[in-house]
Amino acid sequence: MVEPTPNDEHSSSETLSMNLTRILTAIAAPVLATVSFSNLAEAATFGPASNYNVFVFGDMNQSSDAEGRVAVGGNANFTNFGIGDRLENSNGADTRLVVGGDLNYQGGQIFGGSAVVGGQVKSNVNFNCGSNCKVSLGQPIDFGAAKTYLDGFSQQLGNLSNNGTTEYKWGGIHLQGGNSDLNVFTIDGSQFGNSSYLNLNGIQSGATVLFNILGDAVSIKNFGMNLNGINKENVLFNFVNATQVQTSGFSFAGSVLATNANFKFDNGNVEGRFIANSVTGSGEFHNVSFQGNVPVYTPSIPESHEPPVKPTEVPEPSLVLGLLVMLMAWRRNAAHHQQVA
């Protein structure tokens, strides 16, 4: 057998690399055209809850509105409640509400999409949509598996070491950060009762802020917050071990993760994703995505059989990223052989 010359080997490697590039470009193009990297990051962060403005494992009893999609593992009782008004009208192709138990809808409406209910539908459901919006029976989400995943994720975040300082003084909670990537603060939840405001300083533009809030029962009432220009898309409030949370006269300038908390939420807003064990009250949920940089939780994400938001036949992003890694490794090897020759 004739050994290839260095030039032949380089030419062969270059040709294969070019062919791999063409193949990967063809595969990745539809993925990158339909899924942004910020959405991929959010999916890796919140797993089965990533497409939802509100995601609760138990019951939800709420008035006011949620601008995005809502998923309820138990029973849902809505009074003058709006869902999905900031989403594009899909004329029923997109699921805006998933309820694992019974649905009782007393006033309000679902905008631009349909609903799926696992139990009984105990009232009329109004749609602001086209003629194809409807309620279907089904169980598209495994809420038990979702809770297992998100419990683990919350605990992983809670175990992160602080890299900022927390001081309780002058009637407030004073936080000082400085990390250009992820700033982690631990807050004693009982201090919200002794303070009237939170003041955050030293965070660079574009950095992520994680508040790990400790305590079994946390009450936040008539409380002010100054984040000094930090984007709410990069802020996450993680109630690490709370089973009861009550807020009134307070708005979360970011997403909320409270997987074991029965949440009483009145007279305020959540500017991001809201994940809890259950929720009741009159607070508003604003559909802001989470784009912060936090460690990815490693266990596999539970599969959902829910219809996709925008159906399209494209390969999984993980496959594309895996192939890209293979291509980069091939190119490094080819470059090494060329230098040796």
Instruction: For 58-87, give the DSSP string.
Output: S-EEEEEEESS-EEESS-EEEEEEEE-TTS
| Cα separation, 319 vs 325, whole angstroms | 10
Q: Using alpha carbons, select from 69, 98, 85 the residue that is nearest to residue 129.
A: 85
* Cβ-based burial of 221 (10 A; exposed 0-12, middle 13-18, buried ≥19): middle
User: What pLDDT does residue 44 have?
Assistant: 72
Residue with tokens 């807020």: 247
Residue 156 is given by DSSP the state H
| Cα separation, 213 vs 219, whole angstroms | 11
Phi, psi of 98 (to 5 degrees): -120, 130
Residue with tokens 């992983």: 156
| pLDDT > 50? residue 9 | no
| Cα separation, 163 vs 184, whole angstroms | 6
Distance set, CA 339 to CA 179, 334, 336 (Å): 39, 9, 5
| Cα separation, 134 vs 96, whole angstroms | 11
Decide the pairing of beta strands 172-176 and 165-169.
Answer: antiparallel
| Residue 337 pLDDT grade (very low, low, confident, very high; cuts 50, 70, 90) | very low
Q: Using alpha carbons, select from 18, 85, 104, 93 the residue that is nearest to residue 327.
A: 18
Write out pLDDT tens, residues 275-327: 999 999 999 999 999 999 999 898 866 666 555 444 333 344 444 444 444 44
Write out pLDDT tens, residues 72-124: 999 999 999 999 999 999 999 999 999 999 999 999 999 999 999 999 999 99
| Residue 41 pLDDT grade (very low, low, confident, very high; cuts 50, 70, 90) | low
Report which of residues 261 and 2 the model is more confident about. Answer: 261
Residue with tokens 């809201």: 274
How many Cα atoms are found within 13 Å in the side-chain-facing hemisphere of 12?
Answer: 9
- Residue 165's contacts (CB-CB under 8 Å, 6 or more residues apart) are 175, 176
Write out pLDDT tens, residues 167-208: 999 999 999 999 999 999 999 999 999 999 999 999 988 999
